[in-house]
Each structure stands twice: as structure tokens, then as C-alpha cells.
Amino acid sequence: MNAMVETQNIRMMQGNEAVAEGALAAGCRFYAGYPISPSSEIAEILSARLPRFGGRFIQMEDEIGSVAAIIGASLTGAKSMTATSGPGFSLMQENLGYASLAEIPIVIVNVMRVGPSTGMPTSPSQGDVMQARWGTHGDHPVVALAPSSVKESFQLTVEAFNISEELRVPVILLLDEVIGHMREKVLLPDPGSLRVSERKKASGPREGLLPYKPDADGVPPMALFGQGHRCHVTGLYHDERGFASSSPANASALIRRLHDKIEMAKDRITITQGVGLDDAEVVVVAYGSTARASLRAVKDAREKGIKAGLLKLMTIWPFPAERVKAALGPKVKHVIVPEMNLGQLVGEVERAVYGAAPVTPVSKVSGHLFQPVEVLRVIEDAVADRVGFTNRRGG
Amino acid sequence: MITVTGTRSNLHVEVRLAGTGGQGQVLGSIILAEAAGIHEGYTVVQTQDYGPESRGGASKAEVVISSDDEVDYPKVTIPDLLVAMSQDAFNKYCGDVKKGGAVLVDASWVKDTSKPCPGKVYSLPITEIAREQVGKTLAANVVALGAVVGVLDIISYDSMEKAVLARVPRGTEDLNRKALRAGYEAVRQLVEGSKLHRETEVHT
């Protein structure tokens, strides 16, 4: 690539814009949504860009209809997405469960703002981490990714589509307002260099097809509407024919398979990044914009001679417990989990650490991003053994 | 003149633009980031902080400019340069400014600059310049950017002009060129000494 072309690809881009561009690069050709701060730029950009790629954009009456529409579009074979924020994400939960049980690939972006309710529409939060995990009812599995930069917003959007296609699952992309609205200089990858996955499609004769019969990876090839095979899609527990069944053996096998197909792929879909973990006495576990404040805090701590490290989580569901365990070196004395909530993912970290070191949550719920010094102070307290299991107030 | 520590290969500059919603802080910060990032080749992050109102209410936008490949923390902690376009913004943020840094004040709105500030205060009637010399109050943010070029010795006038012209609506190029020049000239009269050459290492 010559210098000229490279310069042309360098752009100042917003996190939300990177999500829209990532979606297009991943092959998204259908968007239905209802604009809401701080996610609206995604809808705005895709309303202009999708038609140029032969795609379709619909502004829906609400968020319930938005997920219903992308489910329908996905059933015809189109890679589909919507984007929202907390209040809209709440409305999406019922149909999210439908997509989970009926195994329909969709991508839902939630740019988190302060809640509950209308909350503070333009202020950042990480309050929807557990809503992403358990917002829809039933014992469902879930995949959720959380970028911490504009570049990662692009990469993880592509990854969200790939995972949803490969595993036939809804994938949730959790940004926070800081990441959604921040602009960074990015060099977009050449579209040809991206790994883009497509769902497996049903083949063979039309008669006798079992559209919900899984392959060895736990994922059934998809019979698409309007492409020859007959398929019945339902939110009821169903057998391999796709018709309702409440037989105990079938029910147990179905929900276990939905979990197993993700569990089998877990290592592949788990994305984390470690900084300075080898000799770390204090390990900070963070995601989203909080990981940026934490990285600075870890660097500042190192300058003060404190052996601190960072484990940045980009996959947050399924929770990467194995990566957390692996991040704990022989010298680890403390684990610190800063979040812009009153302690959500920290419970999972505690479960993974399982007493190997004290785990200290640090909360910031003022509608502002952590300042690095707020994390640094807890790191300093940790090495001086001044912290325990109590929640630290970051503001 | 702001005293930037480090050289072109070892530089970290934080700029905060603050005022009232509608004055164009966010667009101003995007243009500043593009001038530094696209045209000067630095690594940049731009963030913003505003309320649900589209006009009125406090508005703040920030740019972090670095010669490193990555900027870890995206927000401003200790601004090298604060552009205060309202009295509230001045009162709230002037104390945060780095020692040896600078505050660019829109004297059209900021009447009282008595609050202690670790940086040098340059008082300039930015909005009045926009109204009287450019003919459009709306251009106050571009006047401010002209003044930013005059005090911040890391972005060339050409780079800033290119960045402005790439972002403003078609048909307003001449008006915005005029606004940028007016802000630059006005601040140059305030700044003592000559503008340090860009490649020169600057000491605190």
C-alpha cells in the first residue's frame, strides 16, 4: 500500500461511526431501529450508507418492533442489526430471548448511558452489564462484547457478526457513551483483509429436512425463508423438525445444546488483552472506557515502582473466567475491578478468583468516566494492604 | 505563548474547550483534532461532555494530542490549554490548567478573570470579533481556533485552515477563512515575543 492510499484511509472517527462501518464491512445489509442517545449516530450513518451497499434501513415505531424486524430479516438470510441505549435495550429483551431460542443470528448494539429509566441520556455508564446477561427471561446463554477504543469498536462489530453467524446466536455489543462518542484517528483495514463469517445454510432435499438438527459443533445449518426449504420458527421449545415439543428429554437437550454450542466455541470467541501481568502483584480487571483509565493507572503505578498489571476484557459474556485465572501470576496479592456501576462484573471476577486473592470493586456512578488517579489510589492502597472486600467509592 | 514540554517526538498536549451549548465547542474540538491528527500526524482523541439540551447548558469538549502511537486515557486531566467561552466555564476549569499552560478567554462573555489560574490568561473578545469582523456570531468557534493556533505551537496555520475547510458547509469557506485569520491575528497581538519555530524544542 503506498503512502497516499494509507493517508486516505486514516480518518478521525467516532466509536458509533466505527460500529456502523464495521457492520457494513461484516456484511450487514439490514438495520431496523429507533434512534436514542448516545447511539443515534449508528442509525444516522447506516440510514445513509446501507442503501449504497444494496441494504435496507427502517426506522421503526419502537425497540420491540426493531428487534422483531431484524429477526425477520435475518430469517431471510440478511445479516441484521439494531442499536439502542438502556431504555430501548429493556424493550428489546423479549424478542432477544426469541432470537436466542429460535437460534436467529442478530447483532444488538447497546451504547450504555446512565440509568435506570431515562436517567442521564448523554452520560456514560456500565450499568447494563447484567441486563445484557440476564435481561431476557429463561436460562439462556448470551454473548456480549465490549470495546474500549474506536478501533476496537470496528473490530468487535465485525467479530459480533461473525460469532452470531457461526453460532446462530444474538450477539450484544456493549459500548459506553465515552466509547460511542469519542473520536480517534483510525486506519480502517482493507475490507479484503477481514475475516468475515457466513452462517451454515441447509442443503439437500426439501422433503425430510430437520431444520433444527445440529452438526457436531451444536449449530444447525439454517433453513432460510424464501430459499427453498420449509421451516417453522417458534419461541416454544421445539424438536429438530422445528415444531413445538415439551417432552422432558427434548427440553433438556435443547437448552443444554444452546449453552454447549457457545461453551464449545468459548476459547475462540473470548477476546482479552493483558498488560504487565507476568510479575503483577496487583491485577486490575477492566472493560470499556474504564479499561483506558485503568491502563493509565497501571502505567502510573509502574512508574512509582508498584508491580501492577491490567487484564482488559473485550468478551464479557460468556464470562472469561479461565482468562482471569490465568492472569493471576504467582505474585498476585490483590485484584481490583473498576466499573461505572455499583459492582456488576466484579461478582464474576470474584467467582473466578475464588479466594486466591482479595477482589476489590471500585465504583464510579456520577455519570463521568473514572479519572486514572481514582484507580491508582486503590492500587496504592492494595499494595499497602489497606483494602479489603468493601466497595471503594470512586465518585 | 504556551510552553509545550517535549519535542515533536515526545509530546503530550491536552486541550479543553468549554462554554455554553450552541457555541460550537464540539465541532471546534473535532476540527482541532483533525488538524493535529490528520494534518500534523499526531495521535489524537477527541471527547465531549454535554447535557441533553441542544442549546444552552454547559458544554465541554476535549482533545488529547500525543506523539505516542496510543493515547491511554482519552479525557483531559490537566489541560495545557483551556478555551473558556463562558464565565461559568472559566470559573469551573481555570484552576485545572497546567502550570505554564494557557487560558484563552472569550472576553465577550467572561468579564471576571480574577480567579487564580496556574496558566497565563489571554483575554480576547472572540464572539465580538466573529460578529464585527466576520459578520457572523456563529463563527466564534472558528475565531477561537485561529487563536488556538496562535498560542499552541504544535499545529501550523495551514493545517488548521485545511481542517476547518474540510468540516464547514460548502459556500462558507471564505467566511471561515476570515474567521480563522481574525482569531489568529487578534491573539498574536497579545502574545509576547515571536512565535517559536515549530521544530524548536520548547522548554518550560
pLDDT tens digits, A249-259:
999 999 999 99
In a domain, residue B3? The reply is: no
Q: In chain A, which residues touch B (CB < 8 A)?
A: 10-12, 37, 120-122, 178, 181-185, 289, 292-293, 295-296, 299, 368-369, 371-373
Q: Please answer whether residues A108 and A32 qualify as being in contact, where contact means their C-beta atoms are separated by less than 8 angstroms.
A: no
Based on the fold, state whether residues A36 and A180 are members of the same structural domain: yes
In a domain, residue B200? The reply is: no
Q: What is the mean pLDDT of chain A?
A: 94
Based on the fold, state whether residues A276 and A187 are members of the same structural domain: no
DSSP type of residue A370: P
User: Residue B10: pLDDT band by 50, 70, 90 thresholds?
Assistant: confident
Contact assignment for A12 to B52 by CB distance below 8 Å: no
Q: How many domains does chain B have?
A: 1
In a domain, residue A213? The reply is: no
Closest CA to A116 of A135, A133, A136, A102: A135
Chain B: nearest CA to A187, how far in angstroms? Answer: 11
Based on the fold, state whether residues A189 and A284 are members of the same structural domain: no
Q: Please answer whether residues A287 and A314 qualify as being in contact, where contact means their C-beta atoms are separated by less than 8 angstroms.
A: yes
Return the half-sphere exposure (C-beta side, CA atoms, 13 A cut-off) of residue A383.
20
Residue A347's domain comprises: 272-393
Based on the fold, state whether residues A47 and A185 are members of the same structural domain: yes
Boundary of a domain, candidates A178, A193, A208: A193
Q: Does B157 touch chain A (CB under 8 A)?
A: no
The tens digit of pLDDT for each residue in B103-141 reads 999 999 999 999 999 999 999 999 999 999 999 999 999
Q: Does B33 touch chain A (CB under 8 A)?
A: yes
In a domain, residue B204? The reply is: no
Of A60-69, A104-113, A382-391, where does mean pLDDT reach its minimum?
Answer: A382-391
CA quadruple B18, B21, B26, B29: dihedral, nearest 10: -30
Based on the fold, state whether residues A182 and A328 are members of the same structural domain: no
Contact assignment for A12 to B34 by CB distance below 8 Å: yes
Residues of A in contact with B45 (CB under 8 A): 182-184
Which set of grid coordinates corresponds to residue B18?
Answer: 468549554
Based on the fold, state whether residues A165 and A286 are members of the same structural domain: no
In a domain, residue A206? The reply is: no
Residues of A in contact with B48 (CB under 8 A): 181
Nearest chain B Cα to A293, which residue? B73
Average pLDDT over residues A134-142: 97
Residue B8: pLDDT above 70?
no
Based on the fold, state whether residues A33 and A122 are members of the same structural domain: yes
Residues of A in contact with B44 (CB under 8 A): 12, 183-185
Q: What is the pLDDT of residue B119?
A: 92
3-state SS, residue A389: coil
In a domain, residue B199? The reply is: no
Residue A84: pLDDT above 90?
yes
CATH code of the domain containing A376: 3.40.50.920
Q: Please answer whether residues A133 and A377 qualify as being in contact, where contact means their C-beta atoms are separated by less than 8 angstroms.
A: no
Residue B197: pLDDT above 50?
no
Nearest chain A Cα to B74, which residue? A292
Q: What is the pLDDT of residue A267?
A: 97
Chain A: nearest CA to B191, how far in angstroms? Answer: 31
Q: Does B53 touch chain A (CB under 8 A)?
A: no
In a domain, residue A379? The reply is: yes
CATH code of the domain containing B32: 3.40.920.10
Q: What is the pLDDT of residue B195?
A: 42
Residue B122's domain comprises: 12-190
Q: Please answer whether residues A64 and A98 qualify as being in contact, where contact means their C-beta atoms are separated by less than 8 angstroms.
A: no
CATH code of the domain containing A74: 3.40.50.970
Nearest chain B Cα to A183, which residue? B46
Q: How many domains does chain A have?
A: 2
Chain A: nearest CA to B17, how far in angstroms? Answer: 15
In a domain, residue A252? The reply is: no
The tens digit of pLDDT for each residue in A233-275 reads 999 999 999 999 999 999 999 999 999 999 999 999 999 999 9
In a domain, residue A188? The reply is: yes
Q: What is the pLDDT of residue B198?
A: 36
